[in-house]
Amino acid sequence: MYINFWYPMATTEEVGEQPIKVRCLDQDFVVFRGGDGRAKCLSNTCVHRGGSLAGGKLHGDLIACSYHGWQFTGEGECRKIPSLGKDAKIPGRTRIDAYPVEERHGIVFAFLGDLPEEERPPIIPVPEAGQEGWRPTLVHYDIKGNYERSIENGIDPAHNEYVHDTHGFSGEDEDYSVGELRDVPTEWGHGFWHTFQAPPLPPQLRKFREKPGDLEVGTGHHGPNQVWTYIHASPEYYFHQYLFERPIDEEHIHIYLLCMRNCMLDPDQDELMNERNLYVAEQDVVIIEALHPVLTPPTNTKEFMTPSDKCIVMYRDRLREWDAKGWRIDMDEVRRNAKKVAYTIPSPARREQKGWVVDAVPMIGAGQAAAKLKATN
């Protein structure tokens, strides 16, 4: 799992008057709305004695720990230590990691890492958002599996025929093969367009595809945890989907699926859209939860790749690039110390201020990443 990317932490509705605890990258965070109405995200571990901030209360802009009442701003600064008395000076080391937050498409995203603003990989752009003639829906769901496996499933052209009876013929098509993949390189990922034969749509959606025919689909990943999938059901009817994945830990994911459509614009059609998206998602969930091993293998030689797996190989190559930047969390070390060390994801303020109470998660350094890879070959 990687620091220095944006992760979806909650829906807009979930972040209200009560602080909530959100797990991501195997760490706990507290997400709450400050007095200014803006969502905030802090490491959940209180620097005093390890209390859970999410169990505390909001006092206007400040969140108070439930254990001894220390109060912190949404920027992680401690403003009050009740046991020291009213006008006591607050030591600077009491600061807690706070993360940049963006709220878009009904989702609260946090940037979990320490990069300065100008170097941060962006959230995947959604050009249809707010445009006339497009309507969004959002569903979210859990998977008991690894997020890299799930992203790979999202960008896999060859599973549709077998996994989705909505898009393929369940292996009944004797002449099936994966056609040409037209590459779409992007700054933070790689994707492709391809054309495949799909069955007619069910009666409620029949007008979008009456007979079996060509379906134009583009898909690709953006960073380690986001996927775009553009389904062009006909030359006029488009469904542009964006998957934002939150790795709760290495074996659990919470997924937010934003679907933009330029047809069925009546809000009454949202339910049908959501039903269909969840029906397709559930078919993927069954596959991902049964994969062995749970995590992506450390080298591609431990699975047999074919040309239709090209995008998956390119995704893994990108992950190795982020390993080389030192952005991969050393989960072996985190697990080894899990019961006795509170870790946190380093926030941007760590670049300016030294002497933090809670340790930043151990990272696999650039040289170490190469050695680890070699050792597993």
Give dist(CA 107, CA 101) in Å, integer: 10
Give dist(CA 23, CA 57) in Å, integer: 19
Phi, psi dihedral angles at 301 (to 5 degrees): -75, -15
Work out whether 152 is an interface residue with Fe ion (CB under 5 A): no
Nearer to Fe ion, 148 or 284 (CB): 284
Nearer to Fe ion, 24 or 257 (CB): 257
Q: Which of 251, 253, 248, 209 is nearest to 232 (CA)?
A: 209
Give dist(CA 172, CA 174) in Å, integer: 6
Give dist(CA 157, CA 164) in Å, integer: 11
Residue 335 C-beta: closest distance to ligand FES, Å: 24
Q: Per CB under 5 A, which region of 98-106, 223-231, 282-290, 329-337 contacts Fe ion?
A: 282-290
Taking residues 233 to 272 in sequence order and writing x for each that binds Fe ion by CB under 5 A, - otherwise, the string is ----------------------------------------
Nearer to Fe ion, 202 or 367 (CB): 202
Strand order in the sheet with 39-43: 20-24, 27-33, 39-43, 98-99
Nearer to ligand FES, 56 or 136 (CB): 56
Q: Which residues of the chain form contacts with ligand FES (CB under 6 A)? A: 46, 48-51, 65, 67-70
Give dist(CA 257, CA 33) in Å, integer: 23
Work out whether 284 is an interface residue with Fe ion (CB under 5 A): yes
Q: Per CB under 5 A, which region of 14-22, 223-231, 260-268, 283-291 contacts Fe ion?
A: 283-291
Give dist(CA 249, CA 23) in Å, integer: 8
Nearer to Fe ion, 114 or 284 (CB): 284
Q: How many residues bind Fe ion (CB under 5 A)?
A: 1
- Token digits of residue 206: 């029949």
68 contacts which partner out of Fe ion, ligand FES, none, CB within 5 to 8 A by kind? Answer: ligand FES
Residue 91 C-beta: closest distance to ligand FES, Å: 14
Nearer to ligand FES, 49 or 302 (CB): 49
Please provide the DSSP assignment of 238-251 as one string: EEEEEEEEEEEETT
Binding site for Fe ion (CB under 5 A): 284
